[in-house]
């Protein structure tokens, strides 16, 4: 029988006494999570009761224990991390902190709904939606690849609505002001994003041997969807890359920084010039919109952005009606 009590800290502790062994104990943020853990433990270990000694320490597959395998098997291809690896790792850490010691097969739809409600109080609904979708994929992967008897308990739970796409485009004067105040070591990263529409992670993966100056392209091997692609280079981007690659080893990273460093530097620069509602990714939106306004067609824009669908491309290009009118003549 499980004994559940609230600790002075406000957390909930569950303890299961087993004859001949030390009690099994676990602490959780909510009573519901404590009850879910106790129920799962008792269901998975029916012979471990007051009259039956436990013969061995049970293997509890928590999110934290499964996360390294998920990152290795799902987010790594041929030894290389897929695009979005760090973002997925961060989301897994968030999920594992919340569900703590709850076995993955003990997570219930009610617990997921509780997670949604609690997270909605501190982060955007779109962020919670992505975290819940990741948990759903993790559960399905654990069942299919690891043989764990768990179900996709996220599926019945209502997801927060997707966030409204950012519509803020960085104007030429704002871009110039950003370059004036941003850290010199981050400045060329911002310039490449503005000129090529590459994602932050893609830019940080660039090495000199990936740049073909004759064909004016960068061959990316690490992209968000895991597929390689060639990115065309503007004259400005080409000139910048020639300067950056000069004297460097072919396999040396041009920008040995982590994602967070770049995003933080961009946010600080935007704040200094009082530019609101923008993030580093806004540079990608801005570049795609700029090239659309120049008259590039959909296929040409997809070649630049790497988008698989026209629908997704449309979310990134924010053409003004007046710009289209100018092209119409």
Q: Are residues 10 and 96 in the same domain?
A: no
Catalytic one of 187, 219, 229, 281: 281
Q: Are residues 190 and 244 in the same domain?
A: yes
Query: Which one of 146, 163, 193 terminates a domain?
Result: 146
Which pLDDT belongs to residue 50?
42
Q: Which residue has the higher pLDDT, 313 or 291?
A: 291
Catalytic one of 82, 199, 285, 318: 199
Would residue 163 count as lying in a domain?
no
Please report, for the domain that includes residue 193, its CATH number: 1.10.443.10
Q: Please, which residues have CB within 8 angstroms of residue 122's CB and are 6 or more apart in sequence?
A: none
Judged against a pLDDT cut of 70, whether residue 31 lies above it is answered with: yes
The Cα–Cα gap between 301 and 284 comes to 12
Q: Which residue has the higher pLDDT, 77 or 206?
A: 206
Among this protein's residues, is 82 annotated catalytic? no
DSSP secondary structure string for all residues of 253-314: -S----HHHHHHHHHHHHHHTT--S--TTHHHHHHHHHHHHTT--HHHHHHHH--SSHHHHH
Catalytic one of 143, 168, 207, 224: 224
Among this protein's residues, is 316 annotated catalytic? yes
The Cα–Cα gap between 90 and 75 comes to 13
User: Averaged over 143-152, what is the pLDDT?
Assistant: 92
Would residue 155 count as lying in a domain?
no
**How far out from the chain centre does Cα 303 lie?**
23
Q: Which residue has the higher pLDDT, 275 or 59?
A: 275
Among this protein's residues, is 318 annotated catalytic? no
Q: Are residues 221 and 293 in the same domain?
A: yes
Which pLDDT belongs to residue 8?
66
Residue appearing with tokens 């010691």: 101
Would residue 162 count as lying in a domain?
no
Q: How many domains does the chain have?
A: 3
Which pLDDT belongs to residue 51?
39
Q: How far separated are the first and last CA of the chain, in Å rounded?
A: 79
The domain containing residue 12 runs over which residues? 2-44
Among this protein's residues, is 281 annotated catalytic? yes
Q: 157-160 long-range CB contacts below 8 Å, 24 or more apart?
A: 157/109, 157/112, 157/113, 157/116, 157/132, 159/116, 159/129, 159/132, 159/133, 160/116, 160/120, 160/125, 160/126, 160/128, 160/129, 160/132
Residue range 252-308, pLDDT digits in tens: 999 999 888 999 999 999 999 999 889 999 999 999 999 988 888 888 888 898 877
Among this protein's residues, is 137 annotated catalytic? no
Judged against a pLDDT cut of 80, whether residue 309 lies above it is answered with: no
The Cα–Cα gap between 164 and 95 comes to 24
Question: How many CA atoms lie within 13 Å of 85's alpha carbon, on the beta-carbon side?
Answer: 21
């Amino acid at each position: 029988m499980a004994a559940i009590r609230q600790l002075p800290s406000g957390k909930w502790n569950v303890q299961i006494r087993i004859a001949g062994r030390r009690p099994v104990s676990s602490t959780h943020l909510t009573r519901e999570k404590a009850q879910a853990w106790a129920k799962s433990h008792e269901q998975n270990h029916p012979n471990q009761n007051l009259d039956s000694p436990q013969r061995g320490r049970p293997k509890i597959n928590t999110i934290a224990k499964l996360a390294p395998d998920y990152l290795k098997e799902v987010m790594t291809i041929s030894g290389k991390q897929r695009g979005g690896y760090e973002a997925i790792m961060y989301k897994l850490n968030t999920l594992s902190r919340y569900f703590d010691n709850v076995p993955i097969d003990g997570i219930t739809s009610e617990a997921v709904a509780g997670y949604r409600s609690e997270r909605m109080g501190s982060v955007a609904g779109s962020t919670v939606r992505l975290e819940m979708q990741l948990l759903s994929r993790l559960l399905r992967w654990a069942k299919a690849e690891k043989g764990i008897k768990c179900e996709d308990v996220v599926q019945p739970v209502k997801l927060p609505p997707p966030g409204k796409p950012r519509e803020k485009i960085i104007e030429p004067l704002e871009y110039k002001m950003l370059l004036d105040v941003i850290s010199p070591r981050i400045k060329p990263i911002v310039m490449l994003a503005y000129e090529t529409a590459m994602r932050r992670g893609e830019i940080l993966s660039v090495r000199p041997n990936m740049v073909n100056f004759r064909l004016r392209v960068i061959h990316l091997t690490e992209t968000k969807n895991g597929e390689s692609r060639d990115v065309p280079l503007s004259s400005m981007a080409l000139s910048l890359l020639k300067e950056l690659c000069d004297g460097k080893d072919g396999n040396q990273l041009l920008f040995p920084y982590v994602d967070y460093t770049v995003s933080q530097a961009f946010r600080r620069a935007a704040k200094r010039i009082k530019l609101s509602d923008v993030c580093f990714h806004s540079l990608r939106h801005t570049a795609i919109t700029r090239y659309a306004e120049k008259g590039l067609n959909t296929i040409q824009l997809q070649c630049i952005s790497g988008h698989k669908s026209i629908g997704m491309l449309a979310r990134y290009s924010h053409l003004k009606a007046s710009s289209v009118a100018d092209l119409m003549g």
